[in-house]
Amino acid sequence: MSDQTRKSMNLGRRDVLGGVAGGIASAMFGPAMAAPKEGAGRPNMILFFMDECRADALGSYGNPLCKTPNLDAFARQGTRFADCHVQHPVCGASRCSLLTGLPVSNTGHRSLYYFLRRDEPNLFRYLKDGGYDTFWLGKNDALAPESFPLSLTEWHGEVNTWARAGGRGPAFDLGKPNLMLINAKVDPKATSDYLLIQQAIKLLERGERDKPFCLFIALNQPHPPYLAPQGFHDLYKPEALPPLAPPGLGKKPMFHDAVRKAYHLDQAGDADFRQVRATYYGQVSYADWLFGQLMEAVERTGRAKDTMVIASSDHGDYAGDYGMVEKWPGGLESNLTHVPLMIRMPGGAQGHVVSEMVELYDVMATMLEAGRVQAKHTHFAQSLMPQIMGSAGDPTRAAYTEAGYDTFEPQAFEPPMEGPANLYTAKHDLQNEQPATVRRAAAVTTSAYKFVARPGGQYELYDRKRDPLELRNLIDDPKMKQVREAMADNLMAHYISTTGVPPIARDGRDTPEFYIMPKLKKDGIANSR
């Protein structure tokens, strides 16, 4: 779509949406390589990737209680993107979009069972083919097994303590509220995440390399179960927390009530959900502590001067809001879609805050441009290098997030779990017993509003300025008719513009010769030409 077409499509909407109705990202192929600065070599890259960290859990994003001194200091040293949203609220789908620059609707990666295969492009494969040593430490949820050797120089998975124990956590009483809280003493230096950081530090200490490197660190924290290591588990008093978003709000998706009933969360009280939030904050602070150790090693090894560092997450967590825990495949609330994104680049801006909208998969285009590596497929990610170097963002931009799967694609569902009941049994059972709870949905978010479309009904519209917790659904408010229509048009334009793109390499149109024809000619059965 040309800029002129995009502008004409938004005509008449700007006054309603404050200039942010359009924002459709144009497809990119081979973006101009602007920075790093002239004469500089290609930077090393570190992507510190938390699992399930919502943006508002960090001090630099306005949290007055949760202690994240290392990430906050890092934000002051580089560029903080204040309004970054993911493409999907579940690990695998979000990470597949991150590595391809493609929306979920374009690739079909919308569950935990289908990852990037050998015939699909991905960020790390481009970097490896472009001369980078690529290292992966931690959980997967992105690459199919055959893609690892094609994309990575070296990789090490997480130490799965739950698997060693014979399942996903201890046996669980399905009749009690499933708050996903586990009361156990854990040594902060005995977790899988701590071991990952130690591996990362050893990689940094290897000394000079012939090639630049890209290091991906995929943490488990602060993903549920809610369990913070010693020294972090009691950092926050539940009663000192500000009010959470309450349950039982009107005009919310039907899965809210269904999940609360299936998990018996309707039997839990405010004090229980405050304990969930307090423990979650402890996990976030633990992840921050780990980040601090990593950054100390970056400084000590002299890598700060030539290494681009990115800190972000794949999606957020309810953490007690709406009387809910963890996440849900069909959830599109901002506490699931809004994630932190901070980038420090040698020679880049310091203390820079970009308030304009960006999307998580922009990281892919940004890293490729920083590494002077060209993508060989059409994608919709936009490089953030101009902002990293001090420029403002695009005030007209919107973010697009998809969720869920449907009954016509049963392969995407999480199957019923076998063995003793555990923290995830009810989650798997509910989506199979009530598939409408995970039905496909899509959202468009601008700086002013958020619109959610659900084919099964229960559409949503929120005023982000006046209602950041999304407590009041304005979808039926007559005064919001023009906004509602403009946001729906925006979402439709996005789908038309991004759903399905052709490959770059063309195929020949001639019909190839039938493979046995030479033999038939030789035997005189077919006429020679």
For the stretch 384-420, pLDDT in tens is: 999 999 999 999 999 999 999 999 999 999 999 988 8
**Which stretches of 238-393 are DSSP H helices?**
255-262, 270-300, 334-337, 362-370, 385-388
pLDDT computed for residue 436 by the predictor: 96
Give the model's pLDDT for residue 520.
Answer: 67
pLDDT value of position 419: 84
For the chain, residues with pLDDT lower than 50 are: 1-39, 162-168
Q: What is the pTM of this model?
A: 0.90
- Which pLDDT score is estimated for 515? 64
What is the spatial distance between Cα 357 and Cα 393, in angstroms, rounded to a whole number? 7
Taken in order of first residue, the domains within the chain and their CATH numbers are 43-163+192-356+384-443 (3.40.720.10)
pLDDT at 516: 67
The whole-number pLDDT of residue 513 equals 79
Instruction: Please tell me the chain's helix, strand, coil percentages from 3-state DSSP, rounded to the nearest 5.
Output: 35, 15, 50
29-38 pLDDT tens trace: 433 333 344 3
Query: What is the predicted pLDDT for the residue at 500?
Result: 84
Comparing CA positions, the residue from 427, 217, 443 lying closest to residue 338 is 443
CA angle at 318 for the pair 493 and 473, rounded to the nearest 5°: 50
Residue-level pLDDT at 422: 87
* 443 CB-side CA count, 13 A: 28
Tokens of 124: 């790390």
